[in-house]
């Protein structure tokens, strides 16, 4: 009767490569099938011009924004969600989720001709969305701050630390 003996078998070096190739082939098949059955199909070659990040508003670097602020040439608008304890002094809070209520609160303090500097947590798409809604309400002079409050601070901008109340300081 054969004796049960442990034997050491080296793990084949090529095995992970074969496994990876198999998984890649599976993914390719799934992606191909998904592309074939889904309508409308995504064109195989993209038209890059369709993907240009067109925010529709001028984006102002933080240093330039600080200079404008010091000249009283802009009114900051904070689009960050929630109550923010730290913000640019004198900023109005107009959040995407509660835009209509927030605008109602501050409408008496803003004029459609005011040069607004819209800023957020660094995601320009959110700031651009709020700026778009402001444009719909008749505001014409709109700019987006490049970067977040950190970029503003690094550019030498003053930061107000308060209780986070919505509205003007």
Partner 1 sequence: MTDAAAATGRRSWTIPDWMDLLLRFLVGGTFVYASFDKILDPAGFALSIAHYRLAPAWLLHPAAMLLPWLEFVAGAALILGRARRGAAWLVILMLVMFMAAIGSAMARGLDISCGCFGTEDAHVVGLSLLLRDLALLAGAAVLAAAGGIRRVFNESADPSI
If binding is defined by CB under 8 A, does position 35 make contact with partner 1? Answer: yes
Q: Which helix (H) or strand (E) holds 45?
A: none
Q: Which of the stretches 7-15, 87-95, 101-109, 152-160 binds partner 1 when contact is defined by CB under 8 A?
A: 7-15
Which of 123, 140, 154, 158 is in the footprint of partner 1 by CB under 8 A? Answer: 123
Angle between helices 99-106 and 124-136 (to 10 degrees): 60
Nearer to partner 1, 89 or 122 (CB): 122
If binding is defined by CB under 8 A, does position 56 make contact with partner 1? Answer: no
Nearer to partner 1, 110 or 155 (CB): 155
If binding is defined by CB under 8 A, does position 60 make contact with partner 1? Answer: no
Between CA 44 and CA 37 the distance in angstroms is 14
In the complex, what is the shortest distance from the CB of residue 93 to partner 1, in angstroms, rounded to a whole number? 18
Between CA 77 and CA 88 the distance in angstroms is 9
Between CA 90 and CA 162 the distance in angstroms is 11
If binding is defined by CB under 8 A, does position 37 make contact with partner 1? Answer: no
Nearer to partner 1, 6 or 138 (CB): 6
Angular region, 129: left φ>0, alpha ψ -120 to 50, beta rest:
alpha
In the complex, what is the shortest distance from the CB of residue 124 to partner 1, in angstroms, rounded to a whole number? 5
If binding is defined by CB under 8 A, does position 153 make contact with partner 1? Answer: no
| 60 class by beta-carbon count within 10 Å (0-12 exposed, 13-18 middle, 19+ buried) | buried
If binding is defined by CB under 8 A, does position 58 make contact with partner 1? Answer: no
> Which residues are registered as beta bridge partners of 142?
116
If binding is defined by CB under 8 A, does position 21 make contact with partner 1? Answer: yes
C-alpha angle 19/27/23, rounded to 5°? Answer: 5
List residues near partner 1 by CB under 8 A.
Answer: 2-11, 15-24, 26-28, 30-31, 34-35, 38, 42-48, 51, 53, 121-126, 146-147
């Amino acid at each position: 009767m054969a004796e049960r003996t442990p034997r050491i078998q080296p793990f084949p070096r090529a095995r992970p490569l074969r496994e990876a190739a198999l998984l890649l082939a599976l993914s390719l098949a799934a992606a191909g099938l998904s592309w074939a059955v889904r309508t409308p199909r995504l064109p195989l070659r993209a038209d890059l011009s369709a993907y240009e990040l067109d925010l529709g508003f001028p984006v102002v670097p933080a240093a330039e924004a600080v200079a404008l602020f010091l000249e009283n040439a802009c009114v900051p608008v904070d689009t960050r969600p929630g109550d923010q304890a730290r913000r640019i002094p004198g900023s109005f809070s107009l959040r995407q989720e509660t835009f209509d209520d927030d605008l109602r609160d501050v409408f008496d303090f803003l004029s459609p001709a005011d040069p607004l500097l819209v800023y957020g947590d660094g995601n320009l798409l959110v700031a651009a969305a709020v700026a778009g809604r402001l444009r719909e309400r008749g505001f014409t002079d709109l700019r987006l701050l490049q970067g977040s409050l950190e970029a503003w601070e690094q550019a030498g901008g003053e930061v107000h630390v308060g209780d986070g109340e919505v509205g003007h300081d």
